[in-house]
Amino acid sequence: MLRAKLSGVLSCLLPLTLAALLSACSSTPDDPTAKMKPEEILEQAREEVRNFQYTQAVTLFEKLEGRAAGTPLAQQAQLEKAYAQYKDDQSAQAVATLDRFMRLHPASPAIDYALYLKGLVNFNDDLGLFSFITRQDLSERDQLAAKESWSAFNELVTRFPDSRYSADARARMVYIVNTLARYEVHVARYYFKRGAYVAAINRAQQAVADYRTAPALEDALQILVDSYEALNMPQLRDDARRVLATNFPNSAYLKGVKVSADEAPKAPDSPWWKLW
């Protein structure tokens, strides 16, 4: 009798369960791209990019990748997805997308663009809402991204010297080297101002050794002069001053003008790549 009752309960529950499942399936939103051609998805994704709707664009590019897998259109979708991720402040995802593209398609004619975009992702100097007020310079920020940016640009100009992107990459490489040098000077100055003269000497020497053509070399040499002076090491102080005079004969440090190496050099009013 108990079995008969259980059987009756189950027979009542089964239709309800099936109805619930069918209801759940019917509530699943339809994929708006299901009936779209790959070319139509691409155009819709590009329209989202033009409207600054980068998150939506990324989703569409990903759908296109799956829909057009193994075709040149899928490769195009990968590259444009990386750009949309870059514009959407998804730097890590953009780099991962570009690395995957270059790994899967090493012979693609768009490798130079992929390298250029990878450099741009790490080069990006968008400091946020308060950057205009603080005027924070790249040399005062973590330098890992700058080094990765330089590496991507360097690979670009080495492998594709005649690429349409190489000229801009070279200019950005010069800027990056200068900011890396200023970073070393920034750290050396930090140590100098706190009386850690040996540490200041080490960082200034690092700048001199690694960035021989950077303008910040002048400040690095003066930090050496001041630090050796503070440590009462006149011979090394004079050697550093001679190197300064040889490389920067018109330096204000040598003309009796009161300029101290513990004062930060003024950054340009506007970075060279910004047109506003």
CA dist 248 and 261 (Å) reads 15
**pLDDT beneath 50: ranges in the chain:** 2, 6, 9-10, 13, 21-22, 24, 26-28, 126-135, 138-139, 259-262, 264-276
Could you tell me the two tokens for 123?
Answer: 């080069």
57 lies in a domain?
yes
Tell me how far CA of residue 127 lies from CA of 28, 75, 130, in angstroms: 41, 31, 7
CA dist 214 and 173 (Å) reads 12
51 lies in a domain?
yes
85 lies in a domain?
yes
pLDDT at 26: 44
Q: Is 267 exposed, middle or buried (0-12, 13-18, 19+ CB in 10 A)?
A: middle
Could you tell me the two tokens for 229?
Answer: 């002076």
Tell me how far CA of residue 216 lies from CA of 89, 177, 190, 252, in angstroms: 31, 10, 15, 14
58 lies in a domain?
yes
Domain count for the chain: 1
Q: DSSP labels for 81-120? A: HHHHHHHTT-HHHHHHHHHHHHHH-TT-TTHHHHHHHHHH
pLDDT at 264: 46
3-state secondary structure of 269: coil
Q: Is 124 exposed, middle or buried (0-12, 13-18, 19+ CB in 10 A)?
A: middle
**Segments forming the whole domain that contains residue 46:** 35-91
Q: Is 162 in contact with 175 (CB distance < 8 Å)?
A: no
8 lies in a domain?
no
231 lies in a domain?
no
Tell me how far CA of residue 150 lies from CA of 73, 139, 174, 264, in angstroms: 29, 14, 9, 24
67 lies in a domain?
yes
Q: What is the DSSP letter of 194?
A: T
Could you tell me the two tokens for 196?
Answer: 């850690």
Q: Is 216 in contact with 265 (CB distance < 8 Å)?
A: yes
Q: Is 112 in contact with 165 (CB distance < 8 Å)?
A: yes
Q: Which of 140, 192, 149 is nearest to 168 (CA)?
A: 149
pLDDT at 29: 61
Tell me how far CA of residue 264 lies from CA of 186, 191, 272, in angstroms: 7, 13, 20
153 lies in a domain?
no
